[in-house]
Amino acid sequence: MSAPTLATNEAQQRPGQLGSSRAKNSREGFARALRRNLSAHAFLIGAVLCFAFFSWFPMVREFILAFQKTKGGQTTWAGWSNLTYIFNDPAFWQAWRNTLLFTGLALVFGFAVPFLVAVTLNEFRHGQGYLRMLVYLPVMLPPVASVLLFKYFYDPGYGLFNRVLQILHLPQQQWLQDTHTAMLSVVIAATWMNMGGATLIYLAALQGIPGELYEAAELDGAGLLRKIWHVTIPQTRLILSLMLLMQIIATMQVFTEPFLLTGGEGPEGSTTTVVYLIYQYAFYFNNYGSAAALGLVLLVLLAGFSAAYVRLSRSSED
Amino acid sequence: MRSSWLRPPRRYAAAVLVSALALTTVAACGTSSSGGGDNSGGGGSADASTPLDPKTKVTLTIDCMPPATKKPELKEWNEDVAAFNKKYPNVTIQGRSTPGQCEEPARFTAAIKAHSQPDVFYTYFTDLQQVLDNNGAEDISAYVTDKTVPALGDIDPNVLGVLKQDGKLYGLPTSNYRMGLLINRKLFTQAGLDPNNPPTTWDEVRTDAKAIAKLGNGIAGYGDYSAANTGGWHFTAAMYGLGGDVVSSDGTKAAFNDDLGKQIVDNLHAMRWDDNSMGQTQLLKWGDLQKQMATDKLGMFLAAPDDITYMVQQLNAKYENFGMGPIPGGKATLFGGNDYMIKKGSSPDKIKAAIAWLNFETLTPGKGTFDYSRRKADGLPVGLPQPAFLTGASKTKDDELKAASATMPVENFKVFMDNPVPGKSEPPKAQEIYKVLDNVMSGVLTNKNADPGKLLSDAEKQVNQVLANG
């Protein structure tokens, strides 16, 4: 109803008055929209303020801290010195190597295993709900309890895994206490703890694939592997890509598992991750500037992955 | 029509209500802080060196009050507050208890950074630089005199020294320790060793560890830490014991990559891999060795006397099962401890009240935490060779009172007490250095083929860098 009225009013005005009139109308439109959505905006205030206080403000503060130094009660601008410090710290490169190793191993185990489990579960015609629950059960355990359970399993003296190896007459391992196996052991524990959620997401995606596609593939003589390769993977490509990015973003921030399993550092620093190093800088060394600088480096890297994730999410909506 | 004029007010009312709720939620999300505000009601003297005027009205917040789970300790705290209030009726003590240890590095660092520490706050000796960097503590030099702290002259000057910077005093000690060799007397006896003569050199430690490990059943002769910075802490203690250091005297270079450092690493490697007397489980941190020893699975480890209290109170061990000897080498021993500091910005009255409380609670033989007869009556341990910061007449009196109410066989600590080893404070940038040295310890204890020379030289480079960064 209002549009013709506005058009009529505009037509009646002189050309010189048109600009200011448009601005006025735009302001009125904005005010009207604001009034119309006042309740919605009011409902948003709490969330916006909470985000502002606990997410956005700390981010801005971190950025500022990355270029500051506090000494003798005085906070001063430090230029690039915090970044120089972290790049010169041998632990910095070791932490990145360890984090990338964790991410790589987590992709092999944490990405592939849940997908294969989902494909297997999808093949079951009976008891699927029961099996889904079994797979999801570890996610419901408190993470600390799960990690401590694995810490016991990995103990080289009385741990379950070495006991099993002993029964099988296989050489026993040092697990978390060997520089070569420490990170792998952390990844196995992390995969067991977290794969339930990913499996359910894959399963939901698999169940959205039309059965006719498999039937058509079978008619063409495709076996199980070819069906997976030519039907399952292409049909779940988008979910797989999203999960891959989410895994990368999550695994590059790994902290809890190495912190609890190896005390954070591991043998000769072999499980020190980037986030654990940030924690050390801040809370053991009281070096907030370097902690913030390293956080900033991580932020920049993860922002790239997050942007790719958002782009993929949008294309999935389209 | 009716609805058109009714609707907006409703909407506005809803908006106002929701906004108010949202703001309340946000306010509830926020943190409260005692802040630097002062609520002293005055009445005190302007002279810093005089004791607190009993009429002074002031409120103090203090951390490290015993939690409700420690009933006897909390009962004694409340009794002490009541006794203190008899002399200073207008001083309100608001204790704050903390879960776990009184100070946990992450929590402490965050509190100091946010200036949310209480008026009187608990710190470790090694925290002074961090506190001063964050402008967190008052200079109390003018307030601490022999009038306000009568035992001041009997406090070990080395201990007071670690609480000073540029001649200014920032804290008062409440407890301290000197490291020694903690032994499991039961395992010593079972292995045919004399528990009244613990080993005093690393060679003897190795020999005894081998004998204890021969008992089998998963028993280790000697244990050591290698994670969470505690490995570096113990490496430092071992270096001090042999007369070495981890940092040069001017504090600019690492000083552990020498024959003494190599001796320590070689000895640990030999015990772990040649003798197999250190057990298979490594990457241990504080709390792990205590569990092993409390369950009679470990013969020896470097420790402070209060580790025994932890094992008895938390792990149901028995005092008579443990003994202590001096640190192997006996040249010097690492000492540490804890103290209270007073928050920056506190008024003179608050500072005086805090010092009066600390003097009453932790610095007067026979009173507060030194009231041994009460501790004994409450079923708390008495007789440990700790704290050890009192000297002279105060120490004599304290020793007498302690002996009169001892609840444990103090003769088990005789060798430790009779062979006092000079105390040596922790190095500058202790936590950063300990972190680097953790890698030396974890390397030698988890890798049979570890190269001790390389471990030490890599650590040396890293520590030099830590020190160079100022």
User: Residue A2 pLDDT > 50, yes or no?
Assistant: no
What confidence score (pLDDT) does residue A309 get? 81
Taking the C-alpha atoms of residue B264 and residue B206, their distance in angstroms, rounded to an integer, is: 11
- Flag the least confident range among A10-19, B75-84, B269-278: A10-19
Q: What residues are paired with B326 via a beta bridge?
A: B180
Buried b (16+ CB within 10 A) or exposed e, A230-239: ebbeebbeeb
Nearest-by-Cβ selection for B26 from A53, A85, A88: A53
**CATH assignment at residue B309:** 3.40.190.10
Query: Is the Cβ pair A46, B12 closer than 8 Å?
Result: no
**Tens digits of per-residue pLDDT, B374-405?**
999 999 989 988 888 999 999 999 999 999 99
User: Residue B35 pLDDT > 50, yes or no?
Assistant: no
CA A58 to chain centre: 19
What confidence score (pLDDT) does residue A9 get? 47
User: Residue B432 pLDDT > 80, yes or no?
Assistant: yes
- Flag the least confident range among A266-270, B39-43, B163-167, B464-468: B39-43
CA angle (A229, A233, A238) in 5-degree steps: 160
| One domain, residues B347 and B253 | no
For A:200-259, CB contacts with B below 8 A are none
Share of chain A above pLDDT 70, in %: 93
What confidence score (pLDDT) does residue A6 get? 41
Looking at the complex, does the CB of residue A72 fall below 8 Å from at least one CB of chain B? yes
What homologous superfamily does CATH list for A84-317?
MetI-like (1.10.3720.10)
Q: How confident is the model at residue A225 (pLDDT cuts 50, 70, 90)?
A: confident
CA angle (B167, B170, B173) in 5-degree steps: 110
Provide the CB-side half-sphere exposure for A126 (13 A, CA): 0
CB–CB of B308/B6 below 8 Å? Answer: no
The number of folded domains in chain B is 2
Query: Is the Cβ pair A91, B8 closer than 8 Å?
Result: no
Exposure of B258 by Cβ count < 10 A (0-12 exposed, 13-18 middle, 19+ buried)? middle
- Cis peptide bond N-terminal to B387, omega within 30: yes
Q: How many helices (DSSP H) and strands (DSSP E) are in chain B?
A: 17, 12
Nearest-by-Cβ selection for A49 from B22, B132, B438: B22
Using CA atoms in the order B447, B452, B458, B464, what is the torsion angle rounded to 10 degrees?
130
- Mean pLDDT to the nearest integer, B213-238: 95
Q: How far apart, in Å, are the Cα atoms of A195 and each of A111, A123, A132, A234, A249?
A: 8, 18, 11, 22, 16
Using CA atoms in the order A155, A156, A159, A162, what is the torsion angle rounded to 10 degrees?
140
Q: How confident is the model at residue B340 (pLDDT cuts 50, 70, 90)?
A: very high
Looking at the complex, does the CB of residue B386 fall below 8 Å from at least one CB of chain A? no
What confidence score (pLDDT) does residue A3 get? 40
Exposure of B410 by Cβ count < 10 A (0-12 exposed, 13-18 middle, 19+ buried)? middle
User: Residue A53 pLDDT > 80, yes or no?
Assistant: yes
- Mean pLDDT to the nearest integer, A83-97: 91
What confidence score (pLDDT) does residue A48 get? 94
CB–CB of B301/B182 below 8 Å? Answer: yes
Closest CA to A117 of A182, A195, A213: A195
Instruction: Tell me the three state secondary structure of residue A56.
Output: helix
User: Which residues of chain A are within 8 Å of residue B446 when distances are taken between CB atoms?
Assistant: 174, 177-179, 267-268
Using CA atoms in the order A199, A200, A201, A205, what is the torsion angle rounded to 10 degrees?
100
* DSSP H or E stretch at residue A308: helix A288-317
Q: Do the domain assignments include residue B372?
A: no
CA angle (B61, B66, B69) in 5-degree steps: 135
Our CA-based measurement puts residue B464 at a distance from the nearest CA of chain A, in whole angstroms, of: 11
What confidence score (pLDDT) does residue B32 get? 39
Query: Is the Cβ pair A42, B14 closer than 8 Å?
Result: yes
- Mean pLDDT to the nearest integer, A21-32: 79
CA dihedral (B96, B100, B104, B106) positive or negative: negative
Q: Do the domain assignments include residue B406?
A: no
Can you give the residue ranges of every domain in chain A? 84-317
Q: Would strands B333-342 and B58-63 be described as parallel, antiparallel, or unpaired?
A: unpaired
* Residue A51, phi then psi, degrees to nearest 5: -60, -40
- Mean pLDDT to the nearest integer, B105-127: 91
What confidence score (pLDDT) does residue B28 get? 41
Tokens 């020999």 belong to: B207
- Flag the least confident range among A78-92, A252-266, B22-36: B22-36
Looking at the complex, does the CB of residue B216 fall below 8 Å from at least one CB of chain A? no
Share of chain B above pLDDT 70, in %: 90
* Residue B103, phi then psi, degrees to nearest 5: -125, 125
Query: Is the Cβ pair B19, A176 closer than 8 Å?
Result: no
CB–CB of B438/A264 below 8 Å? Answer: no
Interface probe for A, chosen from B439, B462, B464, B466 (most Cβ of A below 10 Å), is B439
Structure letter (DSSP) for residue B43:
-
User: Residue B40 pLDDT > 80, yes or no?
Assistant: no
CA A85 to chain centre: 27
Taking the C-alpha atoms of residue B97 and residue B70, their distance in angstroms, rounded to an integer, is: 10
CB–CB of B439/B459 below 8 Å? Answer: yes
Which positions ≥6 away from B42 have C-beta within 8 Å?
Answer: B56, B57, B349
Interface probe for A, chosen from B4, B286, B442 (most Cβ of A below 10 Å), is B442
Q: Do the domain assignments include residue B45?
A: no
CA angle (B228, B230, B236) in 5-degree steps: 140
| One domain, residues B139 and B207 | no
CB–CB of B381/B309 below 8 Å? Answer: yes
Q: What tokens appear for B250 in the block?
A: 């001017």
CB–CB of B34/B339 below 8 Å? Answer: no
What confidence score (pLDDT) does residue B2 get? 39
Q: What residues are paired with B63 via a beta bridge?
A: B96
What confidence score (pLDDT) does residue A1 get? 36
Looking at the complex, does the CB of residue B285 fall below 8 Å from at least one CB of chain A? yes
Query: Is the Cβ pair B15, A179 closer than 8 Å?
Result: no
Looking at the complex, does the CB of residue B438 fall below 8 Å from at least one CB of chain A? yes
Taking the C-alpha atoms of residue B410 and residue A140, their distance in angstroms, rounded to an integer, is: 50
- Mean pLDDT to the nearest integer, B169-191: 96
Nearest-by-Cβ selection for A284 from B19, B105, B447: B105
Looking at the complex, does the CB of residue A63 fall below 8 Å from at least one CB of chain B? no
Looking at the complex, does the CB of residue A50 fall below 8 Å from at least one CB of chain B? yes
Q: Would strands B333-342 and B171-178 be described as parallel, antiparallel, or unpaired?
A: antiparallel
CA angle (A294, A298, A299) in 5-degree steps: 110
Closest CA to A10 of A1, A32, A19, A33: A19
What confidence score (pLDDT) does residue A296 get? 95
Say which residue, B263 or B18, is predicted with more confidence.
B263
Tokens 């505009």 belong to: A10
- Mean pLDDT to the nearest integer, B226-240: 95
**Tens digits of per-residue pLDDT, B447-466?**
999 999 999 999 999 899 88
Our CA-based measurement puts residue A103 at a distance from the nearest CA of chain B, in whole angstroms, of: 23
What is the extent of the structural domain holding B358? 58-169+336-363
| One domain, residues B453 and B315 | yes
Using CA atoms in the order A237, A241, A242, A244, what is the torsion angle rounded to 10 degrees?
130
What confidence score (pLDDT) does residue A18 get? 57
CA angle (A185, A188, A191) in 5-degree steps: 150
Q: How confident is the model at residue B468 (pLDDT cuts 50, 70, 90)?
A: confident
Q: What tokens appear for A154 in the block?
A: 């990995």
CB–CB of A275/A254 below 8 Å? Answer: yes
User: Residue B431 pLDDT > 90, yes or no?
Assistant: no
CA angle (B129, B133, B136) in 5-degree steps: 95
Taking the C-alpha atoms of residue B27 and residue A46, their distance in angstroms, rounded to an integer, is: 10
Q: What tokens appear for B316 in the block?
A: 């149901």
Q: Do the domain assignments include residue B277?
A: yes
Q: Which ranges of chain A does DSSP label H, i.e. alpha helix?
A: 2-12, 15-36, 38-51, 57-65, 81-88, 90-106, 112-123, 128-140, 143-154, 160-167, 182-207, 211-219, 224-227, 233-235, 237-251, 256-262, 274-279, 288-317
For A:86-125, CB contacts with B below 8 A are 88-91
Taking the C-alpha atoms of residue B140 and residue A137, their distance in angstroms, rounded to an integer, is: 57
Taking the C-alpha atoms of residue A294 and residue B24, their distance in angstroms, rounded to an integer, is: 35
User: Which residues of chain A are within 8 Å of residue B26 when distances are taken between CB atoms?
Assistant: 46, 49-50, 53
Which positions ≥6 away from B168 have C-beta within 8 Å?
Answer: B139, B141
What secondary structure does DSSP assign to B142-191, as a single string? TT-STTTSTTGGGB-HHHHHHTEETTEE-EEEEEEEE-EEEEEHHHHHHT
| One domain, residues B63 and B128 | yes
Which positions ≥6 away from A234 have C-beta within 8 Å?
Answer: none
What confidence score (pLDDT) does residue B402 get? 92
Chain A residue whose CA is closest to B227: A263
Taking the C-alpha atoms of residue A25 and residue B433, their distance in angstroms, rounded to an integer, is: 67
Closest CA to A207 of A280, A102, A294, A128: A128
Our CA-based measurement puts residue B133 at a distance from the nearest CA of chain A, in whole angstroms, of: 4
Q: Do the domain assignments include residue B369?
A: no
For A:176-195, CB contacts with B below 8 A are 176-179
CB–CB of B189/B296 below 8 Å? Answer: no
Neighbours of B408 (CB within 10 A): 18
What confidence score (pLDDT) does residue B181 get? 98
Taking the C-alpha atoms of residue B431 and residue B126, their distance in angstroms, rounded to an integer, is: 9
User: Which residues of chain A are within 8 Å of residue B462 when distances are taken between CB atoms?
Assistant: 90-91
For A:284-303, CB contacts with B below 8 A are 284-286, 288
Structure letter (DSSP) for residue B271:
I
Instruction: Tell me the three state secondary structure of residue B356.
Output: helix
Chain A residue whose CA is closest to B134: A73
What confidence score (pLDDT) does residue B202 get? 97
User: Residue B25 pLDDT > 80, yes or no?
Assistant: no
